Structure 1
Amino acid sequence: MTTGGEQRDQRMFDTILVPTDGSPGSERAFEAAVALARTHDATVHVLSVVDKHGPTDDWDYDGDSPAAAFIESQADHVDSEGLSVASAVREGVVHDAVLDYADENAIDLIVMGTHGRTGVRRFLLGSVTEKIVRLADVPVLSVKADAEPGTISFDDILLPTDGSSGAEAAIEPTGTLASETDATVHLVSVVDTRSLGVDVGSSVIVDELESVATDAIGDASDRLAELGVGTIETAITHGTPYRAILDAIEDADADLVVIGTHGRTGIDRYLLGSVAEKLVRTSPIPVMTVRASDAGEEQ
């Protein structure tokens, strides 16, 4: 855990980036970005990238850039009145262009659409979201293309934790969101019993794992309270982490999952193994992934 002297300032979502290819996934991402922008008085940047190395879709616009045309097309069903919304076009390798734009414009959050249940490699713009989730220095919010329009809310946030540096990275963004919206944060830690045998009820190993889970829940709860979160619910469950978290989503009627990742080591080093990857692929609700800083990563 980070000590009090090492704590960073609480991150605010003042600038939000939505990469778009004009797809339904982009539309749902824009809706989520606008919902967050209203809460945080943020500027929404809409970016389209012309990929020189692949085919580009035909854009339905006349005179304006694809990003500007996309913003205009959303005006009828996404109320962005009063918000600062900017458009931009870049050319190059798509994920590099998105990450470069985020860095150059001090973006606090990237919001991207996904294509239903077809997996991480069928995200918006091919495998771009996968690469951005792995490499972005800021949180990435993935929103499914088949989400119901106009239903984006963040009243109940699920935060899985195992006490690792990756899990710790997700606490601050969760606290930022929840304190601004008076959301309830549902903390869950999963005791992974997959490889412990049949009779694990009285196992010393399970007791030790439960102790670790209890400590992780307690530490995260204390930090969230410091960040101004008023309502925190906690639970320790047993089973396969990925399935247990999906069950927790349903039990909490959660609107959002926030989960941490580990440094630059790629998607296979997510919190709880490959759980975050699976959640981004199949979660019925939006998933925010937060990459742990390189300095805080354990070797």
Structure 2
Amino acid sequence: MKKIIIPVDFSQQSEYALETAAALAKKHNSELIVMHMLELSESIFSSSSSDKNEETAFMLLVTNKKFESFLDKPYLEGITVTPMIKNHKVLKEVDEIAKEIDVDLIVMGSRGHNDYDGVLLGSNTEKVVRHSEIPLLVVKSKPETIDFENIVIATDFSADSASAAKVAIKLLSDLSKKITLLHINLPNAHFLSTDEIEEKASKFLKETNLENLKDGIVLISDYNVEEAILGYADKHNMDAIGMITEGRTGLSHLFGGSISEDLVNHSTLPVFTFKK
């Protein structure tokens, strides 16, 4: 990993993300780009040019002062850290910026939220999960270690997830000693027999050149994908969870929801997401 970007709002959760990214940077000799998006008021867009310049200048001054204290951390010593300030707050642009500067990983902190909040309000992290084509790591607590012993990656072994799976395995293999591919067999229209799942998994591994992971496949049956992943991770003492996301938007997202976003909200473990 050459570059890691951390979108921050100077909260405690942002500091968890920064410390996690710093540990990764030291291990992989990576540069950290710490980005803050200014929360300019809506009224400024209808004000005069001089008013815009004045408010923007004030916000930049405040943000630079916050950066000084926020980046004054002993765990950042010896790491190349580049602060970045953007003049607007559109979370989907995190991915656009990450692609422009050739970032390998986005690291974000998140508080998560309850089910009611999730239906109507969502969260900044959710929006990045939804839009990002760059691998994303979401953390909710101070990192104890980034030397993950065991990571479980949920997969449906579908053809359209093959490229994302390759990216996931390549990145996570550098971070973990053991990777488990978890498939959840759902009832009704999604149900597959054991032979059908094994055949699908075998074809998937062969097409993605990941046949070395054949012994790391776990097949379980459940009624709910999110609960199955969280339950498996807890029962088997996983250190992190990986998830291939659909990145749905619009009405299909609003009414259908997103397993990846729900998982990010409710998991206490670090969660990696990779968009198909």
Match of 1:235 in 2: 218
Q: Is the 8 A contact 1:15 1:109 kept in 2?
A: yes
Q: Which moved more, 1:175-184 or 1:252-261?
A: 175-184
Note the alpha carbon deviations across 1:27-59, whole angstroms, 9 max, x for none. Answer: 11112212322333221110111121379xxx9
State the Cα RMSD in Å: 3.4
Structure 2 residue 169 is matched with structure 1 residue 181: no
How far apart, CA to CA, are the structure 2 residues paired with 1:109 and 1:120?
Answer: 30
When normalised by structure 2's length, the TM-score is 0.77
Match of 1:277 in 2: 261
1:209 CA drift (Å): 3.9
- Aligned identity (percent) is 28
| Runs of 5+ unmatched residues, structure 1 | 1-12, 197-204, 293-299
Match of 1:252 in 2: 236
Match of 1:163 in 2: 157
Aligned to 1:95, the other structure's residue is in SS state coil
Match of 1:286 in 2: 270
Q: Is the 8 A contact 1:52 1:91 kept in 2?
A: yes
- List 4+ stretches of structure 1 deviating above 6 A: none
Match of 2:105 in 1: 109
Aligned residues: 254
| Runs of 5+ unmatched residues, structure 2 | 44-58
How do residues 34-113 of structure 1 correspond to structure 2 at under 5 angstroms?
A: 34-53=22-41, 64-72=64-72, 75-76=73-74, 79-113=75-109
Match of 1:191 in 2: 185
Between Structure 1 and Structure 2, the one with more helix by share is 2
When normalised by structure 1's length, the TM-score is 0.71
Match of 1:214 in 2: 198
Query: 1:90–1:65: structure 2 CA closer, same or farther, 3 Å change rule?
Result: farther
Aligned to 1:183, the other structure's residue is in SS state strand
How far apart, CA to CA, are the structure 1 residues paired with 2:105 and 2:116?
Answer: 19
Q: Give the AA of the match of 2:177.
A: A
Query: 1:274–1:99: structure 2 CA closer, same or farther, 3 Å change rule?
Result: closer
1:280 CA drift (Å): 1.0
Structure 2 residue 35 is matched with structure 1 residue 27: no
Q: Is the 8 A contact 1:167 1:259 kept in 2?
A: no
